[in-house]
């Protein structure tokens, strides 16, 4: 733990849906969480009122733009504007999970590139820099016209799986799609295991079809890692496929537990997935109750806290990329 208790130049604030993670971050930094009052008016408008003096201070506002996405995004923008008008010296938007990241290109006619729009909104709100974890596509870094530090949660997951490596036995890292092969390959090297790839075809935003598997999973413990679990369709179908091909056990892992729509029910009912390991970039609320028996939640608070410490002191954050699997293409 870092002790910055007497450092009055650093302030860390949190949005309403990211309080649990922010608490872990400030515990690592040895400071108290910034005091703020956030209210919703009867018509749905959001009001942010700072209870701490931030004039001339280095301020970090931590808020994942997950469910409810639009409410959290608007709260983040208002928070940034509030800090700017209160004369904060520097404002860093800490966005552990960056919503709208999947809309990162025009894959058909007459559609928006919403990831770029959100980047523009954060820039227009006058944030000075952004800190994010495992963006859905690495190219999103270039959407921001301000400095962005892109962390990988790999060290947190590698540490956990190394601690139970003896229980995993003969291991095979399976990439649930071609775009994640680089990450799966690095995981295989770090943990010591084989590599396999599943070919899939996306029909719509909520429906995918899995095809062939390249590589052998017979008799192995399969670990599938992705940046997020969204509808759960990809991971459930992939687990069924590898089990049909002789896999002994399937562990699904993801940095962001988005779990939209029927994902929680789908994952809870899957007989093929024995364990689900996720980061706490998105608050694990009561709606995850059905998944709790097979879920392991890993904390990225220390990772974020160390990054904030290094940014605040103008130090390199290269050290945080050790044991990293990079990002999804």
Look at residue 206 in the predicted model and tell me its pLDDT: 54
Closest alpha carbon to 60 in 300, 311, 298: 311
The per-residue pLDDT for 2 is 80
Element (H, E) at 269: helix 263-269
Residue 205, pLDDT score: 54
How far is CA 171 from each of CA 20, 115, 183, rounded to the nearest angstrom?
33, 36, 15
Q: What's residue 215's pLDDT?
A: 93
Q: Which helix (H) or strand (E) holds 163?
A: helix 154-163
| DSSP labels, 65-93 | --SSHHHHHHHHHHHHHHHHHTTBSEEEE
pLDDT, residue 277, reads: 98
Q: pTM, whole model, 2 decimals?
A: 0.93
Closest CA to 271 of 303, 249, 299: 249
At 172, list the tokens: 């095979």
Which domains does the chain carry? 10-153+301-321 (3.40.50.2020), 154-298 (3.40.50.2020)
The pLDDT of residue 234 is: 87
* Total Cβ atoms within 10 A of residue 300: 23
Polymer length of the chain: 329
Residue of 270, 278, 199 whose CA lies nearest to 240: 270
Task: Cite the active site residues.
Answer: 200
Give the separation between CA 14 and CA 301, rounded to whole angstroms: 13
- Torsional class of 276: left (φ above 0), alpha (ψ -120 to 50), beta (otherwise): beta
Round to the nearest angstrom and report the end-to-end CA distance of the chain.
33
Q: In the structure encoding, which two tokens stand for residue 310, read together?
A: 């290094």
pLDDT per residue over 175-199, tens digit each?
988 878 999 999 999 999 999 999 8
Are 297 and 284 in contact, with CB atoms under 8 Å apart?
yes
Tokens, residue 21 = 């993670």
Secondary structure class of 177 (helix, strand, coil):
coil
Confidence (pLDDT) at 122? 98
pLDDT under 50: residue ranges of the chain: none
The pLDDT, as a whole number, for residue 325 is 59
pLDDT for 210 equals: 63
Residue-level pLDDT at 115: 98
Given this model, what pLDDT does residue 299 score?
A: 98
Distance CA 293, CA 279 (A): 16
């Amino acid at each position: 733990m870092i002790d910055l208790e007497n450092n009055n130049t650093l302030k860390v604030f949190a949005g309403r849906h990211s309080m649990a993670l922010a608490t872990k971050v400030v515990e690592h930094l040895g400071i108290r969480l910034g005091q703020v009052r956030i209210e919703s008016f009867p018509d749905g408008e959001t009001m942010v009122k700072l209870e701490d003096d931030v004039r001339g201070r280095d301020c970090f506002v931590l808020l994942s733009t997950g469910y409810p996405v639009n409410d959290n995004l608007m709260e983040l923008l208002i928070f940034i504007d509030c800090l700017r008008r209160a004369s904060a010296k520097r404002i860093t938007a800490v966005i552990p999970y960056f919503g709208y990241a999947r809309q990162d290109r025009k894959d058909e006619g007459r559609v928006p590139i919403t990831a770029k729009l959100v980047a523009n909104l954060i820039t227009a709100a006058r944030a000075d820099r952004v800190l994010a974890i495992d963006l859905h596509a690495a190219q999103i870094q270039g959407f921001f016209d301000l400095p962005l530090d892109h962390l990988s949660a790999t060290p947190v997951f590698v540490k956990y799986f190394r601690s139970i490596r003896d229980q995993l036995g003969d291991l095979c890292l399976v990439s649930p799609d071609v775009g994640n092969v680089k990450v799966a390959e690095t995981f295989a090297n770090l943990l010591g295991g084989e590599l396999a790839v599943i070919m899939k075809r996306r029909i719509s935003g909520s429906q995918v079809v899995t095809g062939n598997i390249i590589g052998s999973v017979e008799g192995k413990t399969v670990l599938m890692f992705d940046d997020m679990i969204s509808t759960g369709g990809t991971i459930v179908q992939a687990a069924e496929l590898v089990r049909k091909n002789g896999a002994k056990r399937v562990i699904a892992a993801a940095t962001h537990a988005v779990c939209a729509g029927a994902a929680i029910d789908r994952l809870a009912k899957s007989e093929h997935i024995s364990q689900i390991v996720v980061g706490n970039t998105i608050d694990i609320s009561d709606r995850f109750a059905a998944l709790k028996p097979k879920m392991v939640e890993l904390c990225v608070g220390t990772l974020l806290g160390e990054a904030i410490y290094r940014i605040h002191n103008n130090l390199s954050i290269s050290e945080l990329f050790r044991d990293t699997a990079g990002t999804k293409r």
